[in-house]
Structures are given as structure tokens and as C-alpha cells.
Chain A
Amino acid sequence: MRVMAQMGMVMNLDKCIGCHTCSVTCKQAWTNRAGTEYVWFNNVETRPGLGYPRRHEDQEKWRGGWTVDGRGRLRLRAGGRLKKLLTIFSSPVQPEIKDYYEPWTYDYATLVDAPLGDDFPVARPKSLITGEDTKVTWSANWDDNLGGGPEHAPFDPIVERLRAESNEKIKFEFEQTFMFYLPRICEHCLNPSCMASCPSGAIYKRSEDGIVLVDQDRCRGWRQCITGCPYKKIYFNHKSGKAEKCTFCYPRIEVGLPTVCSETCVGRLRYLGLFLYDADAVTAAASVPEQELYEAQMDLLLDPNDPEVLREARAQGIPEDWLDAAQRSPVYALAKKYRVALPLHPEYRTMPMVWYVPPLSPVVDLLTEQGHDAESTATLFGAIEALRIPIEYLAELFTAGDTEVVDGVLRKLAAMRAYLRDITLGRDPDDSIPASVGMSGEELYEMYRLMAIAKYEERYVIPKAHVEQAHDLEEMGCSLDYDEGPGMYDSGPLGEASGRPAPVAVETFHALRQRQTSDEATTEESLRGRVNLLNWDGNGRPDGLFPKRRS
């Protein structure tokens, strides 16, 4: 047993209102740069829907993640090492920009500069890839809220599979359908296929907290990781020629702050905390038959209160405050203690570490609509049984098609609703309700506390990185800590974005100070000639916000 610590996240999907705040704040923090215009480390998808990039779950096409071969050994779906090297000159299955979307801005200047006339001036969309006029036909969330439902949603790979398997047709007519939101970030997998695909070995997992990062100094742009990741959460920076991905906001995590996406979530649906897991058992767990993957992944997570685990963890040098944090970890509680959080697509065999509490809302909404009491266990349990389609859909997302597990989770959520109603209304709590889902009244109440009213410190239990290592942390030459020192991205003599990177901490410090203390508006220089509504601070009218005036 080799105990390692892993930062994990749980998202409670019932609380997601699809506002995209997480996506926007993450973009502001990390991908608001030339070369990453189309990149959303965090995106929120409406399901059923195509997702971003489009149909990324269709692994027959994109060949991400792992499979097991005839002899039960784990293999990269896109092919082994030799095949990867032989096809390195042009990747066989890499998404193109059109599979994401062509990023654009608007020609706002015409609104101001247009001569007086009868026609209302129009700001035309301009492609951020070619700089030419463009027609906006897709985006990272074009089918938000089932927009264009009957036209797009049937092409959701999961919808297609369900139809092929059970001959059932998911209806997309307004009154008969269901939907929910799925925020997605990098899963910071225990068995990452992006890492296994990287010929240079530039992607690594931090042994302290399991965060998966791309070493920007070692990445050579072979772009195999993009194919490798089944969640399509590695992106190619088309200016720097390097791979980039969600960083789990490691500079914030290291000082005990939650990630930007968690911190800014209006629904407060995200939880952050530690898992302890057995690193030696990962490959074996990832190789079991598909239906056993969920259980195998649960078995990897070690009980942080087990004395033997603690002994082993200490032997591995995991500090005391980290063990304490692991014991208070909300993500461990949701995933393993209460078993209400599920991994996204365990069948990709990457052992993802961002977990989801599946939404009960499709069931509740339908019951309420039909005039039933959506807070009584009897009706809820009945409905969970009757509503096959949403359940099967959720099972395809979270348990490789095993409806029983999803069923169990939804029942717990339903039981929590019903049990708590009695308490809130001052009635005698009905202990048969928790018993029906195999829990005690206290346990169910604790779960309710964590899921409904937990405070900031309970939702985010993040041990600080150890200060003894501070100077290494500061600049260990990893991840995205290079961006935009002055002059970066200008076409240097050695190609775009050449030269020494400015460390992220220094760069952020200067940028923030400049913003907060400067009396002047941002200038074209400080924005490097590229102004859009994301990098403009709203102050004044910098050159480059509008194209040059025609004289």
C-alpha cells in the first residue's frame, strides 16, 4: 500500500442553475490570453446535449481514455507507444477548431463610427482565428437550455446509445423532456490517459496533492494528450504551440483557498477536499470489467480514520495537518461515506477525481408538474422507478450504465427531502425513511447538513502546502505559470511566445497592482493590441478597443 493524497471536487448537480459564472471567472483567471480564446477549462453543458467540444463523449470517434485488451491489460484506446510515435507527424484523431467553435469578437466601432443614416448600424462578428468577418454558427454552449433541442440533442452520444440499446426515444418536446446542467473541468484523474499519451512526459501528477499539470517547458507540442484525454480537457494553445489544461487553481489551493470556479459558484454546489488513495492499486482497479469500475474506484479511496491507513500515510511523509484535513474531507464524505457522489464516465478508466451528486430535479420537476407531492418518499421512490429515461441517462454518465447505483443515490436524496420535511415542519421524524435507504436518522441529518447548509470552511477543507517547500512552489517550472510577461506572445525572433517566461506570481502581482492603482485606463500596450470584453477593465477607452478610425 502506498498512500497518496489527492485534491478532489464534488459538484451537487441539483444546485446548478446553469449560470456559467464558474466558466467566466475561470476564463478570466486562466485563459484570457491570445491563443486560448476558444479554451474553457471550466464549461457548463446542458444535458442532454452535444457538449464541448461537440460530441466529445463519442470515444469510437475520438479514441480517448483506456480500454482493456483481450488479456485484461490496460491499453490506451488511441494505440500504444509505437503507434503513437509512428503517427506523430499528424495526429489521426485530433479535434479541430470547428469541433470546439471559432472564437469571435464584434466590430463594435461601427456602432460609434457609422455615418448618420436611416439604417441602424450593426456590429459584425469577427473571427479571432482569422481576423476576418465571420458567421457565428456554434459556441461552447450553443445548445444551452436545450436550445435547438430537437435539432441538436438527439445527437448527444448518450442519447444515441440509449436509443440503440433500449429502443427508447428520448423526447425533446418541451413538456416531455428533462434536462440538467453539467459543469465540467479536468478530472485530475488517478490514472490519467493524457499523461500516458504524452511522448515527452511533460504532463505530471503532483505527488503531494495529485493535481495534474502540464510542464510548459517540457511540452513540445506533439499534441497526443488532446487525443488521450477522453473528457477533452486538454487544449492546444495555438499561439504558444503547447498543451494547456485546468490547473485546479494550484496557486490558490497551495495557500488554502478554493479554486476560482468553486469560490465564485453562486449555487455553492462545489466541495473541495482530500482523498487518500492507494497508488499501487490504481492500475489494477482501472483494469476491472466495466460494471465493476465504480466499486473498484471506491475501493481505491482509503478510510482516513483507519489506523493502518494513517500509519502508512505517515510513513509516506504525509503531514499531520493533511491527515486531519483528510478526516474532515467533505468530498470523501459525499463520495464514500454517504455514497451519493459518482465519478463522471468511469468507463473511460482514468479514475476521475471530480465527482457528481446526480440531480433528483428531473424527477421532482415532473412530479410537481403533474400535481403530486414531490416531497413524500412514496411518490418519489415510485417516480424514480417509473422514470426510466432520466435514470438511464444518468447511469450512462456516472456508472457506465448501471442504473442500480444511480437509483440508490436518488433514493437517498429523496429520503433526505422527505425526512427533513418532517423535521422542518416540527413533526416527529419518521425513522423508517432513513432505514429504507440503509442509513440512520443521524447520518441522514449529517448528510443534509453537508449538502444543504454547510458553511465555507466545511465545504472547502484545503490544507495549505508546506512552507518548507515554499521557494520551490513559487517557481517550480510547471503548468501555466508563464503567461504574458511584457512582450510575451509578440512574435519574437524565435517564433511566437519565445523567451523567458515571467513567473505567474510576479506577473499576477504586477497586473493586479497596476489595475488597482493606476489612474489611467488600460492602454493598447498593456493589452498587447488585443482588447475584448474580458480583458478590458471597463476603465476608459483604450486604443484597440475599437479599430482605428477611418479618416
Chain B
Amino acid sequence: MDVVLWGVLPYLAVVILVTGTIWRYRYDRFGWTTRSSQLYESRLLRIGSPLFHFGILIVIIGHIGGLVVPKSWTEALGVNEDLYHFNALFFGTIAGIATLAGLAILIYRRRTTGPVFMATTTNDKAMYVLLVGALVLGLWTTLVAVGAGHDAHDYRETVSPWFRSLFVLQPDVDAMAAAPIQFHLHVLVALLLFTVWPFTRLVHAFTAPLHYLFRPYIVYRSRDLPAGTGARAPRPGWSPVGTRDRTK
């Protein structure tokens, strides 16, 4: 059982996440959008959306810090257990609560603003259930840890090694199995969320437009772009006439 949950499931999720994203990018670029609802309602969105997004970005950075950086490294830097824990819990709780509050505002807005509710698909609803689930469970692990004070379970000795071991294809199933139930649930829901990710509106996060900082303001594009640089490759049956060395 443990092997299935912590040895097989994570790889399954990653495979679906990656192939799903590639498939979606190739098949459905037109559907790849934030599906912004600001046209319908702006007031609540302007509070909820930044709160949620900045929150979740900090949460993501925190996860990377906690899961990827081994304990020995931070200790070598002179960050002791207490300091680390205090920071993690303090910022984790704040970011988690901000994210949840933002999401609560967004969901309230979705439910109560007529046009926004009309534009909410079943897909959205399922995504929200998983997103809220992962967030609430994650916050629960944090709050349990806050409550337990010094006796808190140190996930950096169970979850983190397991997480890193996944990347070297030697999943440390026992380490993860030793973590308490709230971590198990949180990870399972998160894995589920990653599995459906490519098929929801969440794909927008993968195309975060950071290249905007570097591209020129004015974009010229020719009508006769060589194949491949256009958004779409030429259709079958439209290949240009000529020998290979003469056509582009």
C-alpha cells in the first residue's frame, strides 16, 4: 500500500502532468487562457485575486525551500532548528491564510455574482474543490505543528527526504510512510491536483509571461513565416512546391 501511494502514485501524477500539458499545448492552445472574469466584476476581484496569487506564490516558494533544501544545508549555514521552524511556520501560516482568504473571496464572488457564476464550468468547480482541499490540508499541517510547539513533527526528516528521493528514482517510501496522517492527506490531494492541472484553467500558471520583461514593445510578424515559428505549423496538404534545398 505504501509503495503504491508513495512509490507509484507520484510518478503517475508527474507523467500525467507533463504529457497532459504537452498534449494540451498542442491540441488546445486556443483554450489556454486565464478565462478572466474581470469584465463582469472588478471590485471583489481586485482584492481577492492579488491576495490569493501573491499568497500562493509565497507558498510555492516556501514549499521549494522546505522540500528541496536538505536540513544539513541550512544547519551548515547556521540556521538552527528553532529559527527555521519559527520562520517556516510564521510565514507559512500568514501566506497560507492570505491565500485561503483570497480564495474565499474569489469563490464567494464566483457564487454570488450572476455572470461570473454563469461562466463557471464543472471543470472549474472540481478544480476549486481540489485547490481548497490542498490548501486547507496544508494549513492544517502547519497549524498542528504550531500547536505542538517543540514536539512538532519535523517534516524535513520524513516528507522532504522522500520528495528529494523521487527525483533520483529511488523513492524513500519508508520515510514518507512515517509522516503523520495530515501530511499524507495533504500530499495525496496535492498529487490529485497536479494530475488534473493540465486539464483545468490552472495551465495559465505555466505560461506566466515573464518574457514580457525582455521582449521589444513592437512586434512585427511576417505573413510568410517559415514553418515552425508561427503559432501553427502549415496544414498537411499545404507544403510548398520545390526540392528540399529550395524551400524553407
Contacts and interface: CB of A to CB of B under 8 A. Distances in A.
A59 B210 CA distance: 27
A135 interface: no
Contact of A471 (B49, B119, B232, B234): B234
Contact of B209 (A131, A222, A475): A222
B222 A207 contact: yes
Interface in B2-52: 24, 27-42, 45-46, 49-50, 52
A217 B223 contact: no
A493 B209 contact: no
Contacts of A236: 36, 38-39
Contacts, number: 190
B246 interface: no
Given A90-B49, A200-B212, A242 B33 contact: yes
A88 B208 CA distance: 10
A494 B231 contact: no
A18 B221 CA distance: 36
B240 interface: yes
Contacts of B180: none
A476 interface: yes
B116 to A, nearest CB: 10
A167 interface: no
Interface residues of B, number: 59
A216 B230 CA distance: 12
Interface residues of A, number: 72
A200 B209 contact: yes
Contacts of B45: 90
Interface string A191-233: 1100110111101111110000001111111110000000000
A90 B30 contact: no
Interface stretch (B157-165, B182-190, B199-207): B199-207
A497 B30 contact: yes
Contact of A477 (B54, B210, B232): B232
A97 B37 CA distance: 10
B217 A218 contact: no
B221 A207 contact: yes
A221 B40 CA distance: 14
30 contacts: A85-B212, A87-B50, A90-B38, A90-B45, A91-B38, A129-B114, A132-B114, A195-B217, A203-B219, A206-B220, A206-B223, A215-B231, A216-B30, A217-B29, A219-B33, A220-B33, A220-B34, A220-B209, A221-B35, A236-B36, A240-B30, A240-B33, A241-B35, A472-B225, A472-B234, A475-B232, A478-B230, A494-B123, A494-B200, A495-B124
Interface of B: 24, 27-42, 45-46, 49-50, 52-54, 114-115, 118-119, 121-124, 199-201, 204, 207, 209-213, 215, 217-225, 230-232, 234-235, 238, 240
Given A472-B234, A495-B123, 9 more contacts: A85-B209, A88-B209, A89-B54, A90-B42, A132-B114, A206-B222, A221-B35, A495-B31, A497-B31
Interface of A: 81-82, 84-85, 87-92, 94, 96-97, 129-132, 191-192, 195-196, 198-201, 203-208, 215-223, 236, 238-242, 279, 282, 465, 468-469, 471-478, 482, 491-501, 503
